[in-house]
Chain A
Amino acid sequence: MFRQGWLQDLMMKRPAVSRFAVPDLGIGVGYRVPHYRQVVEEQPEMDWFEVLSENFMVDGGSPRHWLRELAKRYPLVLHGVATSLGGEGDPGHLRRLAALVAEVRPPWVSDHLCFTGSHTANAHDLLPLPYTPEVRDHVIGRIREVSEAVGTLYAVENVSSYLSWKASEVPEWEFLTQVVEGADCGILLDVNNVFVSSVNHGFDPMEYINNIPLDRVVQIHLAGHSIKDGYRLDTHDGPVCDEVWELYAAVIQRMGSVSTLIEWDGDVPEFSRLQQEANQARTIRDAALLALV
């Protein structure tokens, strides 16, 4: 199922764009409940899948069945939402994540650069961090702890945010850079999140892209978002917008081809619609690469 076009073959002969020895899996989509049976039984064309770690961090039953069946058919990567790298961490969560990674053996594992709540209440949301040296050092320690537990390459994703802290001392891209270099980990670059946050906080998205270590990017996320009254909301419930496609092309031109994932979590459409979106990403990626050749 691993799709390799002529252009990608050509790119594979170039020096690795990432400092980490990770494969370029191509263009993938998220593995979501409405598509489990279809994906397993019909094996539709798709380069790879990303699965939400927490959905499968259970002891048995249907979720584990559909994960085992997917792993037999496609490359897959684990992506979490509840590690809370800015928080205290939950030993039970980490133990289950490590067990899942040992079973699935993905090329990398990721979660978000955020916190999800306190010890008295979990918001089940990706809450932005204050960009301070104290928080940076805490997050670096947490990433090292999680990386060691899972025993594979770890990557952190930039979140969409709607709130900024007065305490922050550096811009988000500088904080991200300090964290990934301090923890020596990868980046899951969510291009849609860069764009959404750039609108919400009034910065230039290219300044963000130009000031992070792109050789640490192991994966890209693309998604749709919603335009609200006075801000953009990362809703993952529609197609990728033109501005985000343009930003994606700019990223590819700066760093070459990298595993790319379309996220579509709300109002999940037919799988064929996801394939269309993945093909759009492939077309834009290939055009960006052609400009390099």
Chain B
Amino acid sequence: MLSPTDQIGVYAEQYRLRLPEAVIYELRGLEALLGDALPPLVAQYLQHYPSQTWTLDRVADQFEEFLASIHAPVEQTDMARLDIAVSHAFTAPDARTFDASTLQAETQLVLQPPVVLLELSTSVFRTRSAALSGLDLPEMEFADFRVVLFRPERKIRHLVLADAAYKLLNAFKTPTSLADGLQTLSQDAFTANALAANLGDWMRTFAKSRILGPPA
């Protein structure tokens, strides 16, 4: 028979094994980036951010905040943000679709539930894709990237967007008519010109990829 201390120790040991594993499962990009340096960070994270929810899916949600609090390098905070965005997109409500050829000025559109817009300072999306495909990690690029995550069916994909396309998508965070969405961007001459030149292609891509769609 175990002593009382040892009895509690069984549960403590299971916690120490189970929770870090669950956190790391949600941080697959960061795991590829940091390797053996990640588990000590996860242990530290769990000390400061014990799980307070019933679902293990959300156990790593504050990891970016934690990394920022310890002044971690920007590629680490970017990767944590990307990992968590992927986790949310994975189980978000399914996206609805629309036919871009039937678009009217008054058509109401909205970003679909799995879509996440990310402003990143590093090319962590390339690192993550390579790591999950079993490829060598590319050299990290430090620049401003506008990225949209989306899930046309069950697999999550991403696109790197031009500034104007990213601004266009931002206009549809809430249900908005196409005309109103474009109106908000027309005051910026550069954006307006880019829109005029590319709007058709972009809207076809956003429709086909189920990035934009009708409100639920």
Name which of A15-23, A52-60, A267-275 contacts chain B. A52-60
Inter-chain contacts of A65 with B (CB < 8 A): 154
Digitize A136-168: 1 where CB-to-B-CB distance is under 8 Å, 0 elsewhere: 000000000000000000000000001110000
CB–CB A54/B55 < 8 A: yes
Query: Which B residues between 12 and 38 are near A, CB-CB below 8 angstroms?
Result: 14-15, 18-19, 22
CB–CB A125/B15 < 8 A: yes
Choose one: A90, A119, A125, A200; the contact of B11 (CB below 8 Å).
A125
Q: Does B181 contact A (CB under 8 A)?
A: no
Inter-chain contacts of A90 with B (CB < 8 A): 53-54
Q: Distance (Å) between the CB of A91 and the closest chain B CB?
A: 11
Closest to A228 in B: B10
Choose one: A84, A92, A121, A231; the contact of B50 (CB below 8 Å).
A121
CB–CB A60/B50 < 8 A: no
Q: Does A61 contact B (CB under 8 A)?
A: yes
Choose one: A82, A92, A120, A202; the contact of B1 (CB below 8 Å).
A202
CB–CB B15/A122 < 8 A: no
Query: Which B residues between 55 and 89 are near A, CB-CB below 8 angstroms?
Result: 55-57, 59, 89
CB–CB B92/A82 < 8 A: no
CB–CB B90/A61 < 8 A: yes
Q: In whole angstroms, what is the CA distance A229 to B50 when docked? A: 29
CB–CB B51/A61 < 8 A: no
Q: In whole angstroms, what is the CA distance A21 to B175 when docked? A: 48
Digitize B86-115: 1 where CB-to-A-CB distance is under 8 Å, 0 elsewhere: 000111111000000000000000000110
Q: Distance (Å) between the CB of B134 and the closest chain A CB?
A: 18
Inter-chain contacts of A73 with B (CB < 8 A): none
Digitize A215-236: 1 where CB-to-B-CB distance is under 8 Å, 0 elsewhere: 0000000000000001101000
CB–CB B91/A230 < 8 A: no
Q: In whole angstroms, what is the CA distance A164 to B18 when docked? A: 22
Q: Distance (Å) between the CB of A282 and the closest chain B CB?
A: 32
Inter-chain residue pair count (beta carbon < 8 A): 85
Q: Does B8 contact A (CB under 8 A)?
A: yes
Q: In whole angstroms, what is the CA distance A109 to B125 when docked? A: 41
Inter-chain contacts of B187 with A (CB < 8 A): none
CB–CB B8/A163 < 8 A: yes
Q: Distance (Å) between the CB of B116 and the closest chain A CB?
A: 13
Query: Which A residues between 92 and 147 are near B, CB-CB below 8 angstroms?
Result: 92-93, 116-117, 119-125, 127
Inter-chain contacts of A58 with B (CB < 8 A): 57, 91
Q: Does B188 contact A (CB under 8 A)?
A: no
Q: Does B133 contact A (CB under 8 A)?
A: no
Given A162-B10, A163-B8, A59 contacting B91 (CB threshold 8 A): yes
Q: In whole angstroms, what is the CA distance A133 to B187 when docked? A: 70
Given A123-B11, A162-B2, A61 contacting B52 (CB threshold 8 A): no
Q: Does B139 contact A (CB under 8 A)?
A: no
CB–CB A59/B113 < 8 A: yes
Choose one: A63, A124, A233; the contact of B51 (CB below 8 Å).
A124
Q: In whole angstroms, what is the CA distance A59 to B91 when docked? A: 6
Given A84-B54, A162-B2, A231-B2, A61 contacting B10 (CB threshold 8 A): no
CB–CB B7/A119 < 8 A: no
Q: Distance (Å) between the CB of A17 and the closest chain B CB?
A: 33
Inter-chain contacts of A230 with B (CB < 8 A): 1-2, 6
CB–CB A59/B92 < 8 A: yes
Inter-chain contacts of B10 with A (CB < 8 A): 162-163, 231, 233
Q: In whole angstroms, what is the CA distance A202 to B7 when docked? A: 14
Give 5 closest A-B pairs by Cβ, nearest first.
Answer: A58-B91, A162-B10, A121-B50, A163-B7, A82-B54
Q: A65-B154, A90-B54 are known contacts; what are 11 more A-B pairs with Cβ within 8 Å? A: A57-B55, A59-B91, A59-B113, A60-B91, A61-B154, A62-B91, A62-B154, A84-B54, A122-B53, A124-B22, A163-B8
Chain B residues with a Cβ under 8 A of chain A: 1-2, 4, 6-8, 10-11, 14-15, 18-19, 22, 50-57, 59, 89-94, 113-114, 151, 154
5 contacts between A and B (CB under 8 A): A61-B90, A63-B91, A120-B52, A163-B11, A230-B2
